[in-house]
């Protein structure tokens, strides 16, 4: 088969001084950072849907992207022909992982059985290439939002048949993920949310979603799939109120339905900002509750209120993210999945390379800076010192549970005014962070 990306060589590391747009300036796969290779730290992944399906049409205009690997039909043959392009791309880029939704890789048939048969056929092609190249599935997922049957949601649809259909689809997608050696399975809420309370029984919908995910856990045990489940929060889009709003809301949901030991978070940068949070806030919360898992590495545009899914290029934002990843002990089964698409006006195949090279270099640079910040320890020491009043005396009594309101009242009455506050030094710390960038 002809190359999909003819004329584009394997992308090599040339160092920060290189002016070659098709070379890495910071990502040097084998370079050690904190004793581990950059490749093992960053575990980059290509999102099949954005790279190989998304043609960049928008509500105002027709598709723009040139995709020489695709004949524009929904045929099974065309689906199979897209697969070598994915592996060629990953190999040239030096990326070892990819992610997909079931419906990205194979077309739906006239019945669920036929749809599953189509999926099996394409999965055979994927498996074959995966075994030959060593490029494997980071996580799989089921598309429970594109087909009109999911117009009211999947697990939260008022139509119980749709719930059943979604369950069948997730079961199959999980099996396929397992067949391909996928390291995890992601649940993004899709249309699990609502537009109007006038037609919605929120309590029942939440219970249905909780039941659905518990059934998924049971099925996972049945088939002995050992990767983690990821839940991917997003506050809105396509519905107005998504139930999986942000990490904090999802954590409460997981607790209520007894799911915390089976799930970790897949945190998407653009979803964080849509929820009114910094990317790093979501990562920190997930880390603090011990459920950090994986990352959808993109960025939004703060001028726009939707999921623009742009490639990451903000070193400062990514540095704070990599600090969280390192503090969490690094990725295990997760990684940095580029859930992003090129801009509509960047329509040529080579633009996919520029986009990924930029994203990879940004995170590589961020990783090195985060490691420097950790090695210096100034930031961590400042934070530690700020809470020193809890390391002994009354603070230690509070943290250990020894204190109660009665003893604290006595303490406060005896002591009078609290010890003088110290400056939070926000600007000084911002300057410190900038000194590393």
Chain residues 141-200 in contact with ligand XLS, contact rule CB under 6 A: 141, 186, 188
Q: Which of 88, 268, 282, 317 binds ligand XLS (CB under 6 A)?
A: 268
Q: Which stretch binds Ni ion (CB under 5 A): 24-32, 75-83, 151-159, 262-270?
A: 262-270
Q: How far is the CB of 281 from ligand XLS (least distance, A)?
A: 18
| Cα gap 52→103, rounded to integer Å | 12
How many alpha carbons lie under 13 Å from residue 257 in its C-beta half-sphere? 22
Q: Do 222 and 174 form a contact (C-beta atoms < 8 A)? A: no
232 binds ligand XLS (CB under 6 A): yes
Q: Which stretch binds Ni ion (CB under 5 A): 5-13, 192-200, 260-268, 410-418?
A: 260-268
53 binds ligand XLS (CB under 6 A): no
Query: Nearest to residue 156, comparing CAs of 147, 140, 171, 145?
Result: 145
- Name beta bridge partners: 370: none
205 binds ligand XLS (CB under 6 A): no
Q: Which of 88, 268, 324, 361 binds Ni ion (CB under 5 A)?
A: 268
Q: How far is the CB of 324 from Ni ion (least distance, A)?
A: 18
Active-site hit among 41, 50, 104, 271: 104
102 binds ligand XLS (CB under 6 A): no
244 binds Ni ion (CB under 5 A): no
Annotation says 104 is catalytic: yes
Q: At 122, phi and psi to the nearest 5?
A: -70, -35
246 binds Ni ion (CB under 5 A): no
Tokens of 370: 């985060």
| Cα gap 234→151, rounded to integer Å | 18
Query: Nearest to residue 232, comparing CAs of 341, 102, 334?
Result: 334
Question: For residue 1, what are the CA distances in angstroms to 68, 76, 126, 353?
Answer: 12, 17, 15, 21
239's contact among Ni ion, ligand XLS, none, with CB below 5 to 8 A by partner kind, is none
234 binds ligand XLS (CB under 6 A): yes
What character string, x for contact with Ni ion (CB under 5 A) and - otherwise, covers 305-324? --x-----------------
Q: Do 5 and 351 form a contact (C-beta atoms < 8 A)? A: no
| Identity of the residue, 102 or 296, whose beta carbon is nearer to Ni ion in the bound complex | 296
102's contact among Ni ion, ligand XLS, none, with CB below 5 to 8 A by partner kind, is none
220 binds ligand XLS (CB under 6 A): no
Q: At 2, phi and psi to the nearest 5?
A: -65, 150
- Name beta bridge partners: 137: 98
| Cα gap 115→150, rounded to integer Å | 16
| Identity of the residue, 190 or 210, whose beta carbon is nearer to ligand XLS in the bound complex | 190
Q: Which of 88, 91, 192, 307 binds ligand XLS (CB under 6 A)?
A: 307
Q: How far is the CB of 179 from ligand XLS (least distance, A)?
A: 19
* Extended beta strands in 63-215, E state: 97-101, 136-141, 185-188, 193-194
| Cα gap 384→137, rounded to integer Å | 39
| Cα gap 24→358, rounded to integer Å | 8
242's contact among Ni ion, ligand XLS, none, with CB below 5 to 8 A by partner kind, is none
| Cα gap 12→18, rounded to integer Å | 11
| Interface with Ni ion (CB under 5 A) | 268, 296, 307, 339
| Interface with ligand XLS (CB under 6 A) | 101, 141, 186, 188, 232, 234, 268, 296, 307, 339
Residue positions annotated with a catalytic role: 101, 104
């Amino acid at each position: 088969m002809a190359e999909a990306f003819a004329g584009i060589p394997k992308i090599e590391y040339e160092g920060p001084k290189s002016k070659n747009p098709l070379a890495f300036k910071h990502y040097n796969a084998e370079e050690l950072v904190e004793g581990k290779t950059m490749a093992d730290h960053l575990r980059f992944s290509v999102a099949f849907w954005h790279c190989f399906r998304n043609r960049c049409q928008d509500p105002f205009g027709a598709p723009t992207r040139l995709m020489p690997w695709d004949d524009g039909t929904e045929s099974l043959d065309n689906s199979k022909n897209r697969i070598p392009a994915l592996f060629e791309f990953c190999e040239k880029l030096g990326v070892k992982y990819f992610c997909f939704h079931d419906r990205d890789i194979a077309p739906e048939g006239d019945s669920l059985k036929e749809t599953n048969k189509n999926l099996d056929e394409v999965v055979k092609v994927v498996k074959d290439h995966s075994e030959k190249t060593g490029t494997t599935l980071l996580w799989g997922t089921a598309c429970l939002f594109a087909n009109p049957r999911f117009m009211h949601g999947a697990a939260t649809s008022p139509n119980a048949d749709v719930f059943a259909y979604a369950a069948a689809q997730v079961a199959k997608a999980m099996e396929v993920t397992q067949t391909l050696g996928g390291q995890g399975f992601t649940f993004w809420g899709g249309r699990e949310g609502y537009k109007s309370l006038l037609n919605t029984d929120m309590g029942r919908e939440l219970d249905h979603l909780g039941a659905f995910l518990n059934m998924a856990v049971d099925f996972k045990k049945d088939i002995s799939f050992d990767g983690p489940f990821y839940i991917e929060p997003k506050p809105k889009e396509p519905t107005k109120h998504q139930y999986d709003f942000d990490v904090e809301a999802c954590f409460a949901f997981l607790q209520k339905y007894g799911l915390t030991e089976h799930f970790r978070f897949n945190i998407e940068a653009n979803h964080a900002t849509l929820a009114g949070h910094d990317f790093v806030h979501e990562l920190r919360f997930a880390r603090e509750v011990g459920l950090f898992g994986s990352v959808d590495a993109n960025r939004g545009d703060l001028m726009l209120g939707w999921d623009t899914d742009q490639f990451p290029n903000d070193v400062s934002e990514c540095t704070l993210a990599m600090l969280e990843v390192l503090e969490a002990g690094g990725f295990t089964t997760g990684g940095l999945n580029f859930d992003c698409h090129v801009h509509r006006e960047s329509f040529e195949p080579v633009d996919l390379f520029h986009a990924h090279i930029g994203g990879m270099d940004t995170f590589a640079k961020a990783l090195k800076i985060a490691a420097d910040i950790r090695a210096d320890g100034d930031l961590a020491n400042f934070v530690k010192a700020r809470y020193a009043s809890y390391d002994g005396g009354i603070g230690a009594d509070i943290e250990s549970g020894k204190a109660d309101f009665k003893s604290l009242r006595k303490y406060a009455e005896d002591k009078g005014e609290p010890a003088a506050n110290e400056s939070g030094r926000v600007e000084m710390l911002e300057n410190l962070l900038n000194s590393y960038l």
